[in-house]
A = this chain, B = another copy of it.
Amino acid sequence: MRFQAPESLSEQIAQHLGQRIITGQLPPGERIQELKVAGELDVSRGSVREALLILERRHLIEIFPRRGAVVSQLTPKLVNSLYDIYIELLCMLGRKVLERWSKPEVAGVMARVSELQSLIDPGKSRRDEPTESVIEAGFEVMRHAYRMVDNPFLEETLENFKPAISRTYYVALESFRGELAETERFFQQLASAVRRSDAAALEVSIRAFGEHQRRQVLSTLRQAESA
C-alpha cells in the first residue's frame, strides 16, 4: 500500500483557505462550497473535504450536517471564549518552561526574545516594519518554548488555536500598529521572569499581555459593529 503524501495537498488547500479567512477575504458566516473550491483550485472534492476538516480543527470554520462549511463567527462572545482558553494554555506553557528549564535552554529562549526585541526596538527598526513580523516573532518564541516543554498535546492544541488568534490580530492590526512599545515591555517582563525563574511574575505578564490584546480586539470589533 502506498500513500502519495495525500495530507500535503489537503494541507495546502487548508492553508490557502485559512489565509483567506484570517485576512477577512472570506468573512464570518460565509459558506465554503466544496464543489466551487474544487473547481477553482482544480483539485478533487475529497481533498477539499479533508481541507475543511483541518480548518475545523483550527477553529476557522464550522461544519454543519446539511448546510456544509461556514466561516466561524467573530463575535465578542467568541473572542472572549477564545482568549480565555488561549491565555490559560499560554500560562501553562510558561509554567512548564520554568518547571523544566536548564541553563542552555533558557539561553536559547532569551536569544529569541532579544531577537524579537531588536525587531520592535524603535531605534533599530524602520517605522514601517510590518506588524506581522512582530506577531510571527511572538509565535517563534512559543515554538522555542514547545521544544523545552515537550508536550505534544499542549503544542498541538496551542497550534490549532493560532489561526483563530491570528484572525483576531488581523482584525485589530491597525490598533496593534501603535502597540509596539507595549509588546516590547511585555517581552522584557517575560524575559526577566524567566531569568529569575519567577513563575508568578511570568503568569502575571502573560495574562496582562493576553488581556491587553483581548481588549484591543474587542474594542476594534465594537467599533466595526457600531460603524
Provided the pairs A7-B63, A33-B1, A66-B5 are in contact, do residues A154 and B84 lie with their beta carbons within 8 angstroms?
A: yes
Q: Encode A89-115 as 1/0 by CB contact (under 8 A) with B.
A: 100100010000000000000000000
Query: In the assembly, what is the distance between CA of A114 and CA of B152, in Å?
Result: 36
**A208 smallest CB distance to B (angstroms):** 18
Query: In the assembly, what is the distance between CA of A89 and CA of B33, in Å?
Result: 34
Query: In the assembly, what is the distance between CA of A63 and CA of B57, in Å?
Result: 15
Query: Residues of B contacting A78 with CB < 8 Å?
Result: 152
List A53-88 residues whose CB lies under 8 Å from chain B. Answer: 53-54, 57, 59, 63, 65-68, 78, 81-82, 84-85, 88
Are B154 and A65 in contact (CB-based, < 8 A)? no
Are A151 and B84 in contact (CB-based, < 8 A)? yes
Query: Residues of B contacting A53 with CB < 8 Å?
Result: 50, 53-54, 57
Are A82 and B5 in contact (CB-based, < 8 A)? no
Query: In the assembly, what is the distance between CA of A7 and CA of B61, in Å?
Result: 14
Are B153 and A82 in contact (CB-based, < 8 A)? yes
Interface size, chain A (Cβ < 8 Å): 39
Residue from the list B57, B67, B85 in contact with A3, Cβ < 8 A: B67
Q: Encode A1-36 as 1/0 by CB contact (under 8 A) with B.
A: 101011110000000000000000000000001111
**A219 smallest CB distance to B (angstroms):** 21
Provided the pairs A50-B50, A50-B53, A53-B54 are in contact, do residues A59 and B153 lie with their beta carbons within 8 angstroms?
A: yes
Query: Residues of B contacting A6 with CB < 8 Å?
Result: 49
Are B68 and A3 in contact (CB-based, < 8 A)? yes
Provided the pairs A1-B33, A88-B92, A92-B85 are in contact, do residues A65 and B8 lie with their beta carbons within 8 angstroms?
A: yes
Query: Residues of B contacting A35 with CB < 8 Å?
Result: 1
Query: In the assembly, what is the distance between CA of A85 and CA of B68, in Å?
Result: 31
Query: In the assembly, what is the distance between CA of A49 and CA of B85, in Å?
Result: 29
